[in-house]
Amino acid sequence: MGFKCGIVGLPNVGKSTLFNALTQTAAAQAANYPFCTIEPNVGEVSVPDERLQKIAAAAKSAAIIPTRLTFVDIAGLVRGASKGEGLGNKFLANIRECDAIAYVLRCFVDDDVTHVEGRVDPLADADTIETELMLADLESLERRRPALEKKAKGADKEAKTAIQLIDIALKYVAEGKPARLALAEIPEADHRAFRNLQLLTAKPALYVCNVDEASAGTGNEYSKIVEDRFKPEGAEVVIISAKIESELAQLDEEERTLYLADLGLTEPGLNRLISAGYHLLDLITYFTAGPKETRAWTITKGTAAPAAAGVIHSDFEKGFIRAETIAYSDFVSLGGETGAKEAGKFRLEGKEYVVNDGDVLHFRFAN
């Protein structure tokens, strides 16, 4: 499952360089001019999880299959995009399909890399992007409301709810606030209906501060400004040097470890970005393990066992009987399933069981 993260930003902020590094591919042409990414590029990366190796060792698995994260690199945005400037709304459909949006902000000074607006100001960049997305949301909301009003007159309850949610969203967007802030006054029971409005500014936001190499570990004055602005809103802020990530992508594992140590870093920026994304979207991982393979699966925190089984195959959810469950720490420390059973750490859980992060599961289902 993993999650799908759209990467947006003004031209020449390091967006495509970061995409190339994260996916270890040259699929997106990184160049020092606007709109070098004309079509959205999609890349997948394995989600690093040290637990996989330990589970596989205990289960004596022949293969390890991590869960995957999808990045979508979307063409550089400019002021006026919602009115057709630059590439206009070409990118909007691709953003709507994403679970979260990573706003790549330029937090470095380099006279050799031009800025589309002639200055380094990450907050102004973020505001430009957000404004264009809000204008697109405003147009979408205003366009949909009349049709829903007609349905509401016919006692359509869903239409009435949708109108209420649209009015709340309109209030925020009209005030220059992203629609995701409206969730604070929307009942939890209506959160899914609100998400179904597919508003661009309602999607969870990650702010990626692309800093110079020397600031990769601690950040700099620009990234500090970004953190002060967006962390109070509940957004995730990640500090990354796209240049370092690009260099890391060319190294083998041993060289990568040495290079990170020389820079005073403990892990690549990709790991931090994935961790921030999982936290932002409230995602957790469970595992399946056996002689053939150990595999990671991503679900939302609070998912019940049948729905978790459905991530593997819809038939598993439909015919769910029970989940054979072992906690990660027990599975590893007791040498796998046999040891866990002997120690009384093997459990049979039913349909009401909420899967925990790290659970090692085997599902029983009826065909």
- pTM (whole model) above 0.95: no
Residue 35 is predicted with a pLDDT of 37
- How do residues 93-148 score in pLDDT, each as one tens digit? 778 888 899 999 999 988 766 666 667 899 999 998 888 889 889 988 999 888 88
The answer to whether the beta carbons of residues 235 and 207 sit under 8 Å apart is: yes
278: tokens are 């999982």
How far apart are alpha carbons 294 and 288 in whole angstroms? 6
pLDDT reported for residue 37: 41
Structure confidence at residue 288 (pLDDT): 98
Q: At what angle do helices 122-153 and 157-174 cross, to 10 degrees?
A: 150
Q: What is the CA angle 199-234-52, rounded to 5?
A: 95
Residue 367 annotated as lining a ligand binding site: no
**Would you state the pLDDT for residue 79?**
55
C-alpha atoms less than 13 angstroms from C-alpha of 266 in its C-beta half-sphere: 2
Helix and strand counts by DSSP (H, E) for the chain = 14, 12
277 is in an annotated binding site: no
Residues of the chain with pLDDT below 70 are: 1-2, 24-40, 75-92, 112-118
Is 86 labeled as ligand-binding? no
Q: Report d(CA 295, CA 289) in Å as an integer.
A: 6
CA distance 295 to 45: 15
Q: What is the pLDDT of residue 165?
A: 94
Residue 17 assigned to a binding site: yes
pLDDT at 82: 47
What does the pLDDT read at residue 36? Answer: 40
114 annotated among ligand-binding-site residues: no
Q: In order of start, what are the domains of the chain with their CATH numbers?
A: 4-280 (3.40.50.300), 302-365 (3.10.20.30)
Burial of residue 176, with CB atoms counted within 10 A of its CB: 0-12 exposed, 13-18 middle, 19 or more buried: exposed
User: pLDDT tens digits, residue range 167-202?
Assistant: 999 999 999 999 999 988 999 899 989 988 989 999
Give the C-alpha separation, 319 to 25, whole Å: 40
Is 140 marked within a binding site?
no
